[in-house]
A = this chain, B = another copy of it.
Amino acid sequence: MTPRIAIDAMGGDDGVRVMIAGVALARHRHPGFTFLLVGDQVRIEAALEHHPGLRSASEIKHVDGVVKGDEKPTQAMRKAKSTSMGQAIDAVKTGAAGAAVSSGNTGALMAMSKIALRTIPGIDRPALAALLPTIEDNDLVMLDLGANTGADARNLVEFAVMGAAYSRILYGYDRPRVKLLNIGTEDLKGTEELRDAAAALGRAGHLPLEFLGFTEADKLSRAETDVVVSDGFSGNVALKAVEGAARFVTDLLRTAFSSSVRSKIGFLISRPATELLRHHLDPNNHNGAVFLGLNGIVVKSHGGADAKGVANAVAVAARLVEDSLIDRIGESLSDIAAVLPHNGRAA
């Protein structure tokens, strides 16, 4: 089945034009895709004038309201049905689309998706998963990144299963390597929740993943694992710390290179090398955070993503529809119950 993707055309820092340009790029790369473009009809039509190929593959659904970037989730939810974000999610719920993509307010997108789509039976809480660059070609799948502030052992085991399903679809691994984020690698390190989750995952040899214990946050880019699981607070801190440090180093580099004529010349000569670095670190190449654990696929594109970034997020969404992410998560759920004794909660 060629998936139809609902696009919240009004989200993102740079508005309708960038979203539509990104969707057009995705369509160009994957001619089978079709789209439901949700938002202000006049502005969408105007943006489509530059992309006639996309016009024929798209339906427009006019909605007046938008969710603002600084709006509180509770506020946004009250008017969900009248917003482009809410209607894009609703299209997934009704089956009018196989997945939704938005560059808007993350908290609002999460809250609306949770209410509209609900969690898969057997999953306690959804999680937000993102892709981090590594020293190898394939990205690291990292979750949870802030959908929840805490997580008990059961949540962590569910996150492991969902993250592994995502990694299997992205890279075709049979049994992705999974580690839990901790502040040390010895068995006794960290919180009780982490130790219980590690024990449960250690018993889960029959799950389609290979559990390799704990990892520390300085190893995220080392490609020593395919999935890193954490509670939402720690995951959010780790992800943002990585983003901030990468920006810090590249800023220092820019300052250093422009500090003298000599270094400027050196920079010009070695530009192909620094371009390679820029390409590797460009968040647009790792765009597309996914809400895992819901009865429907919702992909969060970075608010500052460019057209290429939006196209990557759309491709991720399409891939997850085609490869039946939700069924794949569901398949492992009965196996989770077996490693979580005591009424399904970890020992």
Contacts and interface: CB of A to CB of B under 8 A. Distances in A.
Interface stretch (A60-68, A170-178, A230-238): A230-238
Contacts of A240: 183, 216-218
Interface stretch (A17-25, A80-88, A249-257): A249-257
A245 B256 contact: no
A265 B256 CA distance: 17
A110 to B, nearest CB: 12
Interface residues of A, number: 61
Interface stretch (A160-168, A198-206, A272-280): A272-280
Copies of the polypeptide in the assembly: 2
The listed residue with most B CB atoms (<10 A of its CB), out of A186, A241, A266, is A241
Of A242, A243, A270, most B-chain CB atoms within 10 Å: A270
A63 B155 CA distance: 49
Interface of A: 72, 133, 135, 146, 149-150, 181, 183, 186, 188, 190-191, 216-222, 230, 232-234, 236-253, 256-257, 259-260, 262-263, 265-274, 276-277, 280-281
Given A217-B237, A220-B241, 18 more contacts: A72-B186, A183-B233, A190-B233, A216-B240, A217-B240, A217-B241, A218-B244, A233-B234, A238-B238, A242-B244, A245-B245, A249-B277, A253-B253, A256-B276, A259-B272, A259-B273, A266-B268, A267-B270
